[in-house]
Copies of this chain bind each other. A is one copy, B any other.
Amino acid sequence: MAKAPRVTIQDVAALSGLSICTVSRALRGLPNVSETAQLKVADAATKLGYKASSAASRLAGGTTGSVAIIAPTATSWFFTQAVEAAEEVFADSGFDTVLISLRNTPSVHRKVFGDLDALSQRVDGVLLLNIALSDDEIDALASSGLAVASVGMHNVPWDNVGIDNEDAAWKATNHLLGLGHWDLAILSGREPGARSVVTATERLSGFRRALAEHHLTVDPDLVMDAGSSIEGGRRAMTELIENRRIPSAIFAGCDETAFGALMALRDLGLSAPKNVSIIGIDDHQMSWFLGLSTMAQPVADQGAFAANLLIEGLQRSGPLSAPASHVLDTKLIERKTTRRKR
């Protein structure tokens, strides 16, 4: 199969009998192109199967036709769901998706956000998934010329979609409190050694608020950095049981953490809700199976929604209207790992 010589804008111009310039404008839907020209160009383009060279386009000051999705890690459930949904939206809109996993590693984080020029050279926009950014990084991003949208990041100068983490945590905690549990632990926070994640901070704060409203104090011994992985949950839970004490109930920052906790429990001959009640956040696909009580959140929806916001931002490109923050609902799903304190 011989390499077909690339179809360039020249060919389209030739076939349509117009100049390169007019073709370029027509193709990009710019004004000042007659309908006749539009049609001729569109016709010639499809006939030739023309696709603009992103490299050339980029070099000449145009766009790259690709966007980046930046996630703290690519393996945890939340991110895989969100990434898949966003990728679909991007692909359907003709964008390539560059995946960047920070791997929970500060040095990678710095490398990515420390050189936005490099980023903006390769992509037109970025979709941020629950990334904890410093004020400087936010400013830099906002003025980088890149379109930005995010999931799970509040108070940022770009469009965002997420759930109300503080509220979800508050509700989850209240569920526990309502069941008569007052000695609560939280398995959340950040991966030890990693950068903290906004989400975790907000969830912790919801947890604290719920307790405070019941005039309960948070025992520092029961606040565990468990990250958001199964392994982290397991480690934290083991540590909790072996070296601290068993609380009455546990609020896990996400379902995977709860899974890990459940494992640790079983390792030690304990179980939920017998020895301890436990609730997570997410409604992971396995949660139903494991009977895990949880606050359900629409993950794929968030990814798709944010992706669409980014694409809109890419199109509008004009004066940025005020950034909007969309909040999606969460819902308590009571299953078998939580029950009234005896």
Interface residues of A (CB under 8 A from B): 1, 3-4, 6, 51, 53-56, 58-59, 64, 66, 69, 73-75, 80-81, 83-84, 87-88, 91, 96-101, 103, 108, 115, 117-118, 121-122, 139-140, 143-145, 230-231, 259, 262-263, 266, 285-286, 288-289
Contact = CB atoms under 8 A, between A and B. Distances in A.
A34 B139 CA distance: 43
Contacts of A80: 74-75, 80
A99 B98 contact: yes
A140 B83 contact: no
B99 A83 contact: yes
20 contacts: A6-B117, A51-B115, A51-B121, A53-B59, A54-B121, A55-B55, A55-B56, A55-B59, A56-B59, A80-B80, A83-B99, A84-B101, A84-B103, A87-B99, A91-B108, A96-B100, A97-B98, A230-B286, A262-B289, A263-B289
A230 B6 CA distance: 43
Contact of A87 (B55, B58, B74, B117): B74
B289 A259 contact: yes
Contacts of A144: 1, 3
Given A1-B139, A80-B80, 8 more contacts: A1-B144, A53-B121, A66-B98, A91-B101, A96-B98, A230-B286, A263-B288, A286-B286
A81 B76 CA distance: 9
A117 B4 contact: yes
A108 B87 CA distance: 12
